[in-house]
Amino acid sequence: MKRFAFKMFLKPGCEEEYQKRHAALWPELRQQIKDSGVGNYSIYWDKDTNILFGYQECEGEGNSQDTTDVDPITQKWWDMMADIMEVNPDNSPVTIPIKEVFHLD
């Protein structure tokens, strides 16, 4: 199991909408994430910087932020979230991987 941490950027004033949309996460997207081998997935919000911090555990080398060979469900989600986050030209969230420097089981 590989641990993967990353940060994304929320647009100012969009924190409530971000939480609202994730509270209503589509069941098919939830299943797609699980089927891709991603589990123990959390996203945290730093209100001082508007940075979102994500953590997930992944089977294999992939992760939920991988922009290669994107399925239609994920693309539709990215398109819906593009108005409240910083995104790339394909509407994928701007994602910066964070290097793990310590871990304790």
Paired residues of 2 in beta bridges: 58
- 22 is known as an active-site residue: yes
Q: 16 with 59: CB under 8 angstroms?
A: no
* Per annotation, catalytic residue among 2, 3, 22, 30: 22
Q: Where are the beta strands (DSSP E) in 1-105?
A: 2-9, 38-46, 51-58, 96-98
Active site residues: 22
